[in-house]
Structure 1
């Protein structure tokens, strides 16, 4: 029986596509690297910022990668929050789910990035546990972020479902033994269920409980 619904942020609770493109372009330009194209950024969209920087810059120095990451994490380069969007119906669905389940977040975003979501959505009070990039050693697809959330929530893996949008999310959920619902216009193999709209999520969770 599902007791906890855990959400990813980028691509699920937050449409951050345009904001992240602009941010990486500003960050790398300010750091002295070539400005990456939209296509190049698309290839790293689901990676944690540290890994995205390493791949976009092709930098071999871990020290230098961390320096650039610290610039981004500390917002020494402005993050264009005005480009962030909240998916349609997501506020109402979060409110609905909160009446039946405990809600949490597991994300590759840094803490400031999660606060961006809370600021524009006004939904911080609904999420009892938040696990962000600074909280773990091994990012998704490793199960550590989800396992940490389960520990904080004091629930078993079989009592949780993760709402993600990528292959990485599926792999992490499978490794942690939680259920996984993919929210995406493009169905992904390996998910327990795929949905295209937030309005489908409550019934999808109910279906998992019936199975």
Structure 2
């Protein structure tokens, strides 16, 4: 790996309400690979310009002001590469370091947008995101973990996030009384004994 390069490509993934600039979703990443110092925060806490909520909100406000009237999907803002996509009444952002690969970051924003479209099968808007916040969080965690890009194929992301149980379990048929649990233990003991006899 070349000097200065890192697996941690993404600094933040942010979804903002276009109307009032309020935060719908925001996840900031700092590299877990830096050696900690006595004064540094734990790796799960963002450091640097995003160290606290106030600086994050200031960054987000400026970002929305800068991109609200833009027609492109990439800008350089606050010495960072920012890729963004507008969907209905929300703006989605992927923020990376100034030295990061724009194409890789662009794939992340596309994966986010396309995954949400596949998950919701309808328009991606503020209300849908809030009502399905758990799915949005899971999808983003499948795409990026600790700033490291894991997956950019929307179909794979959606399969992982919305995977149904392999078999429905009828909970009403399970006997959870003391006698039922004892019967289950006896059955397991008998099966284990049979299995051991067959092995010898």
| TM-score, L = length of structure 1 | 0.29
| Structure showing the higher strand proportion among its residues | 2
| Structure showing the higher helix proportion among its residues | 1
| TM-score, L = length of structure 2 | 0.30
Identify which of structures 1 and 2 has the higher relative contact order when contacts are C-alpha pairs closer than 8 Å and 6+ apart: 1
Q: Which structure would you say has the larger Rg?
A: 2
